[in-house]
Amino acid sequence: MRDAGLLDLAASSLTPPGATPLLAIQDLTVAFDGVPALRGVDLAIHAGEAHGLVGESGCGKSVTLLAALGLLPPTATVRGSVRLDGQELLGAPQAVLDGVRGGRVAMIFQDPASALNPVHRVGAQVVEALRLHRGLDGTAARAEARRLFDLVGIPDPTRRLDAYPHELSGGQNQRVMIAMALAGEPDLLIADEPTTALDATIQAQILDLLRKVQRETGMALVLISHDLGVIADVCARVAVMYAGRIVEQATAEALFANPLHPYTRGLMSALPDMDGPRRRLAAIEGAVPEPWAMPAGCAFAPRCGLAVDACRADPPPALLPAAGAYRPDPHHVACLRADPDHHVEPRWHTASRSAAMTRSRVQPSARA
Amino acid sequence: MSGGGLLELDRVARIYTARRSLFGAADPVRAVDCVSLSVPASRTLGIVGESGCGKSTLGRIALGLERPDAGSVTFDGALMPKLGTPAWRRLRARMQLVFQDPLGALDPRLPIATQVAEPLDIHRIGTRADRADRVADLLRAVGLRPDQGTRYPHELSGGQRQRAVLARALATDPALLVADEPISALDVSIQAQVVNMLADLQAARGIAMLFISHDLKVVRQVSHHVAVMYLGRIMEQGDPDAIFRDPIHPYTQALVSAVPVAGPRRRPRIVLSGEPPNPARRPSGCPFHPRCPVAVSDCQVIVPELQTMPDGRQVACLRAAISPSAARIAA
């Protein structure tokens, strides 16, 4: 694959100067029964930041974090390095992982109803987490569970502690999951499509809650989503994944104002707008390549309007700072053809879209 | 919204009875309550709303799969025949339904081409020899290759399966297509392909569409007219651009503001407190009043009727009826 020198350069260049990442994933590869799912992922999550991981189904966004926490089935072959505050997690003994999972690193999923135990009261499930990770018992644990329910905005928390998951709505169950995740006072919360199963107005409530608890507890948040809008709403930095690799990484502001990778641009053009004139959607033709039939070159080359022969022949370049990126948190992209200064408009770019982007580049967004 | 439509719903209501416990009294659940809609040929009516708002029930009523407990459904000028009658079966060839989950809608043991040909066999359309050509044409129309007809559903991607389901729905050359969350299970880049295809098919074949979805951005993209539902009632309906740019009903305002946008946010988010109530415990008055930021005491008592606003859209809100601008400013 890549030589060690380049790897070090790539990994260190993702780190803002003077900061050791809380979670450092380096050259992580995962294969299921020999079929590659993750093909070399470098990702650094810093203390207290909200980091988004976006991509379509099968791109490896969930697998990245599941592999990092040792949550993949034994059929998966995991290689690379995952360090939490310098401690290697890959191949770590079970006792170490048990302390990390649910303790220093918590995770919530898309479907809270199936993540909760249906035959136990939700309060008891939160108390169990408090006992395992904080050593709390009896009335102290129940009082803390009540405080957590209050924190995540569950109305009438004392009574709700005695409810069963089926008595609560999907939004309330997701709040319970968040309370349980917070029980271990995590340094990092991984939220894997936390609002995908929820209605729009409930999704807004849960995203608000995630922002609030992240701000109040100072924990880092990794938000995994297929929805660019959800990511834009919560995250300060974003990594875009395609076919088992990170293809672009930048601050949310830079990414949404000026996406550099043709795939990221394609994704944004494929989204219908909420206002302005209606235009024909710019679909990305074709489909994601099957994991057992990856093209020799860049995985996106077969669908890319900018691809040249070199894109099809050679593996894509490593994730490197884009030209002209001198800021402390540079825009990274893994594309031969991405050049922010002389970029050619991909063929699916419509005039209105690029005009909108130019506007937002001139006037930096006032995102909440 | 009356007269001239291919499909007309006139003050339609559908009431289920639900028992809260085994021996408890049955509670009436008004899944759809006094809804009037019209879908003209070659036009798309978008229905948006959250789970439990009655949008899927409305789609089933539109196809005659469920009988309304009040009101009437008219298709092409004639009353919808009773479910299962020969008249209804004949009509079914002209009305088709597409669901969210294409894998569940396809038979895993039959190749795609056989399934696309099934409606032709059932409705005895064309000769046996013609049917193979017709299936090939249909597969091409939805962007599949005719040779992909020999594949089984599990051999196709999610997007290709939804195309196959559409090819089957189009086999009888329907006048009306009811699409219930047809692209919600697909990835963004594939969603765009299917949305464009639906627009092309509508332009080429003049199909009327009832497009049911929770995704406001997609509904705005495909619809000529849109209706926003909450707890079985229409809260606001009219031109999608106007409604999503400048919603009047407080519920539509919250729904529009809740849509996550990739990029700078245009309007402040209105986060509603609470959740939609259980339809079995419908609040008195306006169904939205317990969560409404601008509700007044009258809203607890009076069920607001749809009022036509100066720009032609209809809004069911007491506050908007008194003064549209006041409601908008207050919210």
Domains of chain A, residue spans: 1-47+54-93+230-368
Is residue B118 situated within a structural domain?
A: no
- Tell me the average pLDDT across B260-287: 82
Per the domain annotation, does B146 fall within a domain?
no
The total number of structural domains that make up chain B: 1
- B301 burial (CB, 10 Å; 0-12 / 13-18 / 19+) is exposed
Average pLDDT estimate for B304-324: 85
C-alpha to C-alpha distance for A38 and A28, rounded to whole angstroms: 7
By C-alpha distance, the chain B residue nearest A285 is B193
Question: Do B76 and B176 form a contact (C-beta atoms < 8 A)?
Answer: no
A109-141: per-residue pLDDT in tens?
Answer: 888 888 899 999 999 999 999 999 999 999 999
State the amino acid at position A251 in one-letter form: T
Residue B195: which of A172, A199, A281 has the nearest Cβ? A281
Nearest-10 Cα torsion for B109, B110, B112, B116: -130
In a domain, B80, yes or no: yes
- Out of B50, B264, B275, the one facing A366 most closely (by C-beta) is B264
Please give the ipTM for the structure prediction. Answer: 0.82
Output the 3-class SS for A109-162.
Answer: CCCHHHHCCCCCCHHHHHHHHHHHHHCCCHHHHHHHHHHHHHHCCCCCHHHHCC
CA angle B257, B261, B267 (to 5 degrees): 40
Interface test with B, best of A209, A233, A275 (most B CBs within 10 A): A275
Could you tell me if A22 and A16 are in contact, meaning their C-beta atoms sit under 8 angstroms apart? no
CB B67 within 8 A of CB B245: no
Q: Are A27 and A81 in contact (CB under 8 A)?
A: yes
Whether residue B217 is contained in a domain is answered as yes
Distance CA A327, CA A310 (A): 29
Cβ-proximal residues to B237 (8 Å cutoff; 6+ apart), any chain: B1, B37, B225, B226, B227, B228, B243, B306, B313, B314
Q: pLDDT value at position B277? A: 80
> Which range of residues forms the domain containing residue B50?
7-94+174-330
Residue B79 lies in a domain: yes
> The domain spanning residue B198 has which CATH number?
3.40.50.300
Q: To probe the interface with A, which of B50, B145, B161, B188 has the most A CB atoms within 10 Å?
A: B188
Q: Quick check: is B188 in a domain?
A: yes
User: How is residue A252 written in tokens?
Assistant: 């949310």
Q: Nearest-CA distance from B73 to chain A in Å?
A: 29
Q: How far is CA B323 from CA A144, A305, B158, B252, B309, in A?
A: 48, 51, 47, 17, 10
Residue B272 to chain A, least CA–CA distance (Å): 7
Span A1-47+54-93+230-368 CATH architecture: 3-Layer(aba) Sandwich (3.40)
Using a CB-CB cut-off of 8 Å, the residues of chain A touching B51 are 199
- For residue A54, the cross-strand partners are A225, A240
For B111-167, what is each residue's pLDDT tens digit?
999 999 999 998 888 888 889 999 999 999 888 899 999 999 998 888 889 999 999
What are the φ and ψ backbone dihedral angles of B229, each rounded to 5 degrees? Answer: -110, 150
Whether B201 contacts B141, CB under 8 Å? yes
Average pLDDT, chain A: 85
Residue A4 has pLDDT above 50, yes or no: no
Q: With respect to residue B288, please indicate whether it lies within any of the assigned structural domains.
A: yes
pLDDT reported for residue A352: 38
| pLDDT tens figures, A301-360 | 999 989 999 999 988 888 888 765 556 678 899 998 886 554 444 333 333 333 333 333
Which of these ranges, A10-19, B127-136, B185-194, B276-285, has the smallest mean pLDDT?
A: A10-19
Residue B167, in any domain of the structure:
no
